[in-house]
Structure 1
Amino acid sequence: MKPPVPHRRTPWVLASTTALAVFVAGLTFTAATGTAEAATVGAGSYTTDRVGPLPTGCGEMSTNPRQFATANAPAGPIPTNDWWSSLLWKKTNCSFSEPLHAHPLSYQAFTDGLGFSATSTPTISGTATGVGEFKYAYSEDFRVGVTALGVPIVKVDDWSDWTVSPYWSDGVRTMRATIGHGLPFSYFETSGGEANINPTGGSPTVWSNSGSTIGFTIKGHDYVAYAPTGASWSVSNGRITSNLAGKGYFSIALLPTTPTTEATVRAELAATYGQHAHAHITGTRVSYAYNQASGTVNTTYGFTTEAKQGTTTKTVVSLYPHQWKALTGSTPLTLTYPSARGRMKVLAGVSEFRTSMKYHGVLPELPAVGTGSGADLAQLKDQLAALRGNPMDARGGDTYWTGKGLGRAARIAEIADLVGDTETRTVALNAIRTTLNDWFTAAPGKTARIFYYDENWGTLIGYPASYGSDLELNDHHFHYGYFIAAAATLAKFDPSWARQDQYGGMVDLLIRDANNYSRSDTRFPYLRDFDIYAGHDWASGHGSFHAGNNQESSSEGMNFANALIQWGQATGNTAVRDAGVFIYTTQAAAIQEYWFDADDENFPEGFGHSTVGMVWGDGGAYATWFSAEPEMIQGINMLPVTGGHLYMGYNPDYNKVNYAELVRNNGGEPTVWRDILWQFLALGDPDAALSKLRANPGYTPEEGESRAHTFHWIRNLAALGQPDTSITANHPLATVFNRNGSRTYVASNITATPLTVTFSDGTSLTVAAGKTATKGAHTWSGGNANGGIDPTGSPSPDPSETSPSPDPSETSPSPDPSETSPSPDPSETSTPPSDSPTRYLLPAGGLAGAGTPSTVTVAGAGGANRDGTPHNPLVFTSTGLDMTYAGGQTTFDLFLDANQAVGNGVQARVSYDLTGDGTFDRVETYRYFATDPVPGYEHYTQNVGLLSSTGTLGNLSNGTVKVEVWSAIGVNPTTLGIGDQSFVKLPYA
């Protein structure tokens, strides 16, 4: 057996055929101390005081990340994860840049100018059954500069959606270049000397030099330089120079590959490109629209140009495979460029181009058509019940592993809801709510499980961070995608929690940090992690690997995109939803091309693999950051498996190819992450996957998985078949499956009103409120996404299902005075101030005016789960009250300190006996508050929300109010500050 390997990357170490070591010296950090400054966002908050490590680099990068931007550069936070970010984020090359892989060209900045590389033949290393990689590595052909130029630092003068303008100035000479994704042209503006092209890859072969245009070849790559009319080019000792007729601008184009190198063909291409050589690109901008009615995503890639000479404003661009396969309204030329992503096709004479892609829908979870009854339902419910004690099963306290736990709990909640297991659903939702509330609250003195906003970098960092999410700004979309997805599940069942004045604002900040969807929001860079032109995310951005940026887990990137769709739909935020649909649809196409190469067109011959574990700027690797095991190299692009990962089944035959390679490379069936790999296989061959699952009941679940979810997923795909991409729907949470020609139409309605979904083949499906429904081969309706939601949006579960009548021996003991509260002093409990609704918790168990400062101990829960069930509670009571109900709700502020204890959670219940007859007419049980292991008080307030409530409030006439406080979870005691600290404010005049 191969032992399970901890999942995720180890910074700077790549399990690949190339040994790569990067040394970062002199990095020191002193943890911040004192009280963190909290910025409130609704009921949540983040800190603006530094609590952990920050991004680092050359000079004063940690505090001044704009030091390598000129005064002309766009205002706001710097883009940190773009293909060119190493120009700004100088981490290991403190003067210039790392190689910049723009495709079809690569560049690198140096003291004397800009280097060009057009590597067209890949280097392949490794084996076809083990780790291996292909690289179109930076290999310089020439440098472009100004004669005698020598600068200490190259800065950035401008950027747009997929272009950048590096800038050189030595005080006498200047040069400004503009380069970009998909651009065969590079544009230059110079002053202080002659423009020069200095070959560094061998002597150039000049095949045309006429007037302002010169054509030359270096290392088999054809280039043309275009100077203004009236200028000429000179060649001396291989160096090409021009005074540019004093006009200070020129451009250079890489010509596409052709079957022939005849001079006439070159001349024709040079003339064609020359028509657009002086329409300098000054900016690029994407716009997208999700057409819900047709189920399409229409994207426009626009170019802004300046006519330096003549009137032509159109340009020449080259498209990646995911773009040209979806191109609409234009026909690409037959001309192509080789690249690390496959053939790029040329469009000439354009100011924009458009793509149209089908959006095939996502689901909160697969419908339970195969596990909705009989023995399979019994098995699933047993597996769900086994998860109640630990739905998150978090393996660590950082943002990544907390996120994994949240993702696990969200899957459990969704499945439990579908099959009517409200008890497990409630437990899972409570775990999500408690965890998110904790992370979304920056209490005084709190330094862990907290989000910090750094204004200089324009980023929100969660601490404890992991895998470079702080120092490198790695993986924010990976980590935060889990948080957002879990929040979307919670929002379905508790919409009040997701309001902007509650915790929805904090969720939105996480979204904007990883991929800010609003250009008007200057707190974060626009679409930080998503490379607009390349069509996929980048996990890191400083490029200190000589290979450009990289992204390993494309599927965790898709988890983020799906989370945006689910959250936007649950909260009615169409801007978030549409951003998610755009990223999801575009990236689904990119993954099929660049991670899976499903059409077998893009990976170079001789690579020997049907998939890569990592995509790099200059190629791809059958490898991961953390393991050389085939299960993990392939599985890292499959997890997590959710209803938003159906794109992995768009080419079902490929799933079987991918799995077969795994078995081949592994020398047999997988022994780790088997559940993940079987679930991927189920999207291509569900019967085989189900057979493997049933034959191996003792497998070890992957760290973010559960047996219940794996069985639910595979068993239901065995009934449904594979995703049917020939049909779309007019609803974002809808899709179609096809098994042997029989279709099942599926839609999920998470609203409170019925919904009718229409599919592109004319089929319509009516879905009841809070249900997932199917039609066709399987007709089924299940789930209750709004079950138990009272008008305030707080869950009010059926007591018979979620809050069973407690055993008196457990819930109503005669408390030990040493553990709870003594019998209240009548002077404090019977005669409180009659005119004050604010009641302090007093040492003798009363509720009255402020008393002597004191503390009392809330006993631990003894390791059991006491959620909703008082156990050895502290009791505080006020009697003989005559007060008029003023409307509103109970509020409170309890001062809690668990010291350094981990895993504690304190809960409160407030009960009202309106007439003093011994019967409580209104009982409010609040969700427990998870305390942190940092000494110092935290504030437990009503903002955690109601767990349950019974009865209604009214006027108090000789009434009684009772407050009970106990430990819902945890084995250690918690200190409660009373006397003049903790208080409850009654909703009475």
Structure 2
Amino acid sequence: MRNRAWISVAAVVGVIALVVAGTTALFRGGSSAADVSFRPFSSSSTSGWTRVGDQAPSSWTPAAARLPHSEGSTGSLRVDDDLPPPTNRWYSGMFLGADPQPVFAMPLAVQADDTGVALGLPRVSASARTITAPFAPEVRIGLPADAFTATRADPVSVTSTYTSSGAPVGELDLAEGWPYAGYTALEDQDVTVPPGLQARDGGRWLATAVGDTTYGLAVARADGSRRSVTAPDGTVSIGRGETLLVFAAREDGTLAELARGAVPVHGTTVDHQVRGGQARTRIGYDTPGGQRTVLAAMPHHVLHRPAVVGRTDSVYGPLRLVRSRTLVSGVPAVRPRATLPLGGLGGAAREELRTQVVADVAQELARGESREDTYFGGKDVQRMAQLTRLAEDVGADGAARSMRERAVSELDDWLSGDDDCPASGTRCFAYDSAWKGVVGRSASFGSEEFNDHHFHYGYFLTAAALLGEGEPRLLDRWRPTLTALAEDIASPATNGAIPALRSFDPYAGHSWAAGRSEFADGNNQESSSEAVNAWNGLAAWAAADGHRGLARQATWQLSLETASASAYWLEPRHLPKGFEHSMVSLNWGGKREWATWFSGEPSAILGIQLLPMPSTLAQARISPKRVRANVAEASAHGFDTMFGDYLTMYLGLADPQRALAIGRRLPDSAIDDGNTRSHLLAWLLAARAGDLRASGRR
């Protein structure tokens, strides 16, 4: 695309351990007997590994599917009828659109068609504003097929079934971090391969050079054992259950290691853990008998004693190749926090803030209703909820009562579960039975095709957490719709009605924003900060409403997204020569840009990585030098510019005294419509007091 005490660690990780087992259901009220035993938002585990993405029982009806129904237009889909359309994935463009697009599995790039698959190992280059590693089809495998569809999918991997006249002939497996493409025969067959393949290692695998890249082919039996392979007349014969594996490297030693690790992978599992100040991710690759293969670790993956066997380049920097069947990595755990920590404010600062809050509440009460689309309407309700909590925190009691009444009324309108939503409602949500997810009545930025849902719904979840904490009647009233929003963007389980972790990529460590992703450069995400806001809001709401398992899962997502926002957007470390900027604002599967979808202004390019300035951004890896450099480029013509308020708040992480002076002088034109002068001032005063950073990591 485009305070009462903040929630404590115990509230997020334990989420009120006194909650009696069995009372924290998917949502309370209205569930049938078939649903009660399956509660994906609850978990008895508090510190061990938790599986995410498993298949849910067919008897489970998600809260999302209990909303009023609508049916959108999906257009061309290459997806099995039993599989929810895989929107917001790194591989979405392969299946959702008129023509299959290239997908970037890291490190290989692949483009499928009805009769085969083309592969390439991208080469990285850079210009002043763009880093590119585009798909270049250098090797093609021809298959005895005339169509393909997605038949199995998880957040990290996908299986396509190739058919001939409707009969299955083979399955193509792709997975992020697995530097192979694997085609498994469902019947004996011949496949066409590049000419000129040469035998290596006594015929155990074949190789061909394309420029400076060498491509290897090997055949593995169903048990993972290897057999010799030949390619007479440009064909390879593979028997039923055998897998043809394709891999590539630019160094002979790396190629040999990939050849040794060539065993089939038929899916992945994802487990998470938040413990000891670390948010950890374990991705398991399903190999025959648990055999080791070769996996690729991205720069943000912090591994424990990895068996590194090689390296390869990528658009995100060097990938380490490790011999394993699991990738286990960790990032610093981030504390979910819905409000600003204001305990360090002195009397004068608190009085200054109280005066501003009273003025902003009066202005807010004079506004009309919140906007009707889910993006700007979401920004409106989060702004109102933040102002409510600020008024309560600084003791502006009269203003707080009036503001709370208004904010609750607005959120009630959105979350009432209006039965007329698909036909005539306005500010409401429905379940799209074609796309298998939740949509707002009024679309924006392509949300009807599932663009940016985590951005949009994060605002509502944050607002509900702010207003609902300590208010069980509100939480009870809003639970069905909020549960549906949470399921849409972060369901821990999947069945035919909803995907798991719709937009979140556990391997990449961040979300993808495009629903269809009909792009030659893969999927993309622009606003890393709105993704951080989404998982922070999800964790805060889950904690307030007693969903223990979901609170831990959202904390894990928040921690990964925060680390990736720093590593790949705000403070990237692996920028190639020729790229002339200190940050990146739009990341794709095969490209990275200093750009936005909506403006070429430097203030917009940085500001979209900051809004709505969730306080958890202060817990990221922060280099004051990089902050100053980023802000200097974005504010070359001053702070009275688009997102000038967020640039000022960001500067507060490096130079709080200067930022406060700038913030006090900012004109109204520099205050974003999702922000208030009160929130700006509260952030800057908390930064000056040292509260933002002091209340950081878990």
Q: TM-score, normalised by structure 2?
A: 0.84
Secondary structure (helix, strand or coil) at the match of 1:355 reads strand
Shift of 1:225: 0.9
Corresponding residue for residue 401 of structure 1: 376
Aligned residues of 2:338 and 2:537 also touching (Cα < 8 A): no
Shift of 1:390: 4.7
Shift of 1:722: 6.1
Secondary structure (helix, strand or coil) at the match of 2:431 reads strand
Aligned residues of 1:481 and 1:563 also touching (Cα < 8 A): yes
Corresponding residue for residue 360 of structure 2: 387
Corresponding residue for residue 432 of structure 1: 407
Corresponding residue for residue 318 of structure 1: 296
Spell out, residue by residue over 1:688-721, the C-alpha distance to the aligned partner (whole angstroms, 9 max, x if none). Answer: 2112223445553111111111111112201217
Distance 2:470 2:243 in 1: 61
Shift of 1:444: 5.3
Shift of 1:522: 5.5
Distance 2:413 2:204 in 1: 66
Secondary structure (helix, strand or coil) at the match of 2:664 reads helix
1:247 to 1:285, Cα distance in 2 relative to 1, 3 A: closer
Corresponding residue for residue 83 of structure 1: 90
Corresponding residue for residue 481 of structure 2: 506
Corresponding residue for residue 182 of structure 1: 177
Distance 2:469 2:646 in 1: 26
Aligned AA for 2:388? A
Secondary structure (helix, strand or coil) at the match of 2:660 reads helix
Aligned residues of 1:46 and 1:453 also touching (Cα < 8 A): yes
1:192 to 1:46, Cα distance in 2 relative to 1, 3 A: closer
Spell out, residue by residue over 1:659-696, the C-alpha distance to the aligned partner (whole angstroms, 9 max, x if none). Answer: 12223xx4555523211100011112212211222344
Distance 1:433 1:224 in 2: 61
Secondary structure (helix, strand or coil) at the match of 1:569 reads helix
Secondary structure (helix, strand or coil) at the match of 1:427 reads helix
Spell out, residue by residue over 1:701-754, the C-alpha distance to the aligned partner (whole angstroms, 9 max, x if none). Answer: 111111111111112201217626xxxxxxxxx537xxxxxxxxxxxxxxxxxx
Corresponding residue for residue 442 of structure 2: 464
Corresponding residue for residue 148 of structure 2: 154
Distance 1:46 1:251 in 2: 40
Corresponding residue for residue 393 of structure 2: 418
Corresponding residue for residue 24 of structure 2: none
Corresponding residue for residue 477 of structure 1: 454
**Greater percentage in helix:** 2
Corresponding residue for residue 639 of structure 1: 611
Spell out, residue by residue over 1:131-169, the C-alpha distance to the aligned partner (whole angstroms, 9 max, x if none). Answer: x322211111111123xx351x32123223311122222
1:157 to 1:364, Cα distance in 2 relative to 1, 3 A: closer
Aligned residues of 2:436 and 2:498 also touching (Cα < 8 A): yes
* Aligned 1:118-267 pairs, distance under 5 A: 118-122=121-125, 124-125=126-127, 127=128, 132-146=129-143, 149=144, 151=146, 153-171=147-165, 174-190=169-185, 191=187, 193-198=189-194, 206=198, 208=200, 210-228=202-220, 231-234=228-231, 240-244=234-238, 248-255=242-249, 257-258=250-251, 266=252
Shift of 1:208: 3.7
1:246 to 1:498, Cα distance in 2 relative to 1, 3 A: closer
Alignment partner of 1:304 is 2:286: yes
Shift of 1:480: 0.6
Spell out, residue by residue over 1:331-373, the C-alpha distance to the aligned partner (whole angstroms, 9 max, x if none). Answer: 241621111211111111x221312322142433233256441
Shift of 1:244: 3.7
Secondary structure (helix, strand or coil) at the match of 1:723 reads helix
Corresponding residue for residue 451 of structure 1: 429
2:108 to 105, 109, 127: 105
Aligned residues of 1:484 and 1:564 also touching (Cα < 8 A): yes
Aligned AA for 2:395? G
Shift of 1:619: 1.5
Spell out, residue by residue over 1:223-258, the C-alpha distance to the aligned partner (whole angstroms, 9 max, x if none). Answer: 22113555432365xxx4322478743212223x44
Alignment partner of 1:69 is 2:79: yes
Spell out, residue by residue over 1:256-276, the C-alpha distance to the aligned partner (whole angstroms, 9 max, x if none). Answer: x44xxxxxxx2x545533333
Shift of 1:281: 0.8
Distance 2:137 2:569 in 1: 27
2:259 to 267, 270, 274: 274
Spell out, residue by residue over 1:850-892, the C-alpha distance to the aligned partner (whole angstroms, 9 max, x if none). Answer: xxxxxxxxxxxxxxxxxxxxxxxxxxxxxxxxxxxxxxxxxxx
Paired positions, count: 631
Alignment partner of 1:711 is 2:681: yes
Alignment partner of 1:690 is 2:682: no
Aligned residues of 1:232 and 1:244 also touching (Cα < 8 A): no
Aligned residues of 1:689 and 1:714 also touching (Cα < 8 A): yes
1:457 to 1:577, Cα distance in 2 relative to 1, 3 A: same
Aligned residues of 2:93 and 2:523 also touching (Cα < 8 A): no
1:414 to 1:652, Cα distance in 2 relative to 1, 3 A: farther
**Greater percentage in strand:** 1
Aligned residues of 2:640 and 2:669 also touching (Cα < 8 A): no
1:431 to 1:197, Cα distance in 2 relative to 1, 3 A: farther
Corresponding residue for residue 876 of structure 1: none
Aligned AA for 2:558? Y
Alignment partner of 1:56 is 2:52: no
Q: Which of 1 and 2 has greater Rg?
A: 1
Secondary structure (helix, strand or coil) at the match of 1:341 reads coil
Aligned residues of 1:46 and 1:442 also touching (Cα < 8 A): no
Secondary structure (helix, strand or coil) at the match of 1:645 reads helix
* Aligned 1:612-623 pairs, distance under 5 A: 612-623=584-595
1:81 to 1:464, Cα distance in 2 relative to 1, 3 A: same
Aligned residues of 1:81 and 1:539 also touching (Cα < 8 A): yes
The higher relative CO (CA closer than 8 Å, separation ≥ 6) is in 2
Aligned AA for 1:197? V
Distance 2:88 2:293 in 1: 27
Shift of 1:287: 0.5
Moved more, 482-491 or 168-177: 168-177
Aligned residues of 1:41 and 1:503 also touching (Cα < 8 A): no
Corresponding residue for residue 338 of structure 2: 364
Distance 2:150 2:229 in 1: 29
Spell out, residue by residue over 1:826-856, the C-alpha distance to the aligned partner (whole angstroms, 9 max, x if none). Answer: xxxxxxxxxxxxxxxxxxxxxxxxxxxxxxx
Alignment partner of 1:344 is 2:319: yes
Corresponding residue for residue 270 of structure 2: 286
Aligned residues of 1:555 and 1:639 also touching (Cα < 8 A): yes
Runs of 5+ unmatched residues, structure 1? 1-7, 10-38, 62-67, 259-265, 725-733, 737-758, 760-989
Aligned AA for 1:655? V
Shift of 1:576: 1.8
1:269 to 1:138, Cα distance in 2 relative to 1, 3 A: closer
Aligned residues of 1:276 and 1:313 also touching (Cα < 8 A): no
Aligned residues of 1:564 and 1:579 also touching (Cα < 8 A): no
Shift of 1:592: 1.4
Spell out, residue by residue over 1:401-441, the C-alpha distance to the aligned partner (whole angstroms, 9 max, x if none). Answer: 11111111122122222211122222332222112211222
Shift of 1:482: 0.5
Spell out, residue by residue over 1:380-404, the C-alpha distance to the aligned partner (whole angstroms, 9 max, x if none). Answer: 2222112224538566321111111
Corresponding residue for residue 21 of structure 2: none
* Aligned 1:419-818 pairs, distance under 5 A: 419-443=394-418, 445=420, 446-470=424-448, 472-499=449-476, 502-517=477-492, 519=493, 523-598=497-572, 600-601=573-574, 603-648=575-620, 650-663=622-635, 666-669=636-639, 671-696=641-666, 700-720=670-690, 723=693, 734-735=695-696
Q: TM-score, normalised by structure 1?
A: 0.60
Distance 2:625 2:364 in 1: 34
Corresponding residue for residue 327 of structure 1: 303
Distance 1:45 1:205 in 2: 52
Distance 1:562 1:106 in 2: 32
Runs of 5+ unmatched residues, structure 2? 3-26, 32-62, 221-225
